[in-house]
Structure formats: C-alpha cells, structure tokens
Amino acid sequence: MDENALDVLETAMQLEKDGLRFYHQVSENIEDKQVADVFQKLGRDEADHLEFLEMQYESLAKSESWMVFQELYREDETADDRPAHLLDNEKIHHLIHEGMTSAQAVKVGIKLEKDSVRFYELQSKSCGDPSGQQMYLKLMDFEKGHVKDLETLLKKLK
C-alpha cells in the first residue's frame, strides 16, 4: 500500500472539509443573500469533492489501486506540500468575524480556492498513477472554476 498516497488523500480530504466548513459558516452569518447563495453552492461542491476523495481513499486502502475519475463521479450529482489553509475551528472563527463584509468573505474564499488549485496541481505532478493524476487534475479544474465564480462575484460587489 502506498502510504504517501494515502497521506496526500488525507490532506486533500481535510482541505475539502475546511472549505466546506468555511462556506457553511459564512453562508449562515453573511447578510448578503447573493453571497450566501454562492457560498452554499460552493459548500455543496466541496462536499462532493470530499466524497470523491473518500471513495478514492477507500479504494486505494483496500485494493491498492486508484479508481478512474469517471468511476468516482456520478453525472446525477451536483457537481511543505500541505496547503496553507488547513484550518482548525479556531482559525476559521478568526477568519469569519462579526461584521465581515461580503467582499472580505469572498476574498478569503478566493485565497482558499487558489491554495487548493496549487495543492491539486502539485499532487497531479507528483502522483505516479495516471488515474490519481487524472483525479487531481479534475479537482484542480473544479477549484479553478470556484476561483472564477468568486472573482466574478467580487467584481459585482465592488
């Protein structure tokens, strides 16, 4: 069993959990409905990514083989190497402060997503398995889409 691959997947799962927690907390506390709606959607996306990673982890741990991304993704669903934003609850609490503006929340989201893009890009280059590389590249593309969505939202807020 490739322990390094499992360690990387654990880090990736934590990355998605952090994003999910951040988006959920902001969407619950931000007054701007448009921002809250976007953050709720991004949170659902992060939950999907987490599910992909958990399935990949289970496959790799049990059978020592990577699943191809198409096996992980179901069309009917909504869509140091450690990332800088692996957050604990206390750090998230400090990021999300009372009176945080919508623009501030979106800027934090952009930073978190860009960190995820860099992490998945690095992992796609260092993963020795083509199926693992494909999964990391696809996750990187999803996160790039999140960056674009958030940057568009930020422009609308200005």
Q: What is the pLDDT of residue 100?
A: 74
C-alpha dihedral sign at 128, 134, 136, 137: positive
Contact 109, 23 (CB under 8 A): yes
On whether the pTM is more than 0.85, the answer is no
pLDDT at 12: 94
Distance, CA of 154 to CA of 93 (rounded, Å): 22
Surface-to-core class of residue 118, CB atoms within 10 Å of its CB (0-12 exposed, 13-18 middle, 19+ buried)? middle
Q: What is the pLDDT of residue 148?
A: 95
**Separation CA 89–CA 18 (nearest Å):** 9
> What value does the mean pLDDT take over residues 14-31?
92
Say if domain 3-79+87-157 classifies as CATH 3.40.50.620.
no
pLDDT digits (tens, 9 = 90+) for 78-129: 333 434 444 444 555 555 555 678 898 999 899 999 999 999 999 999 998 9
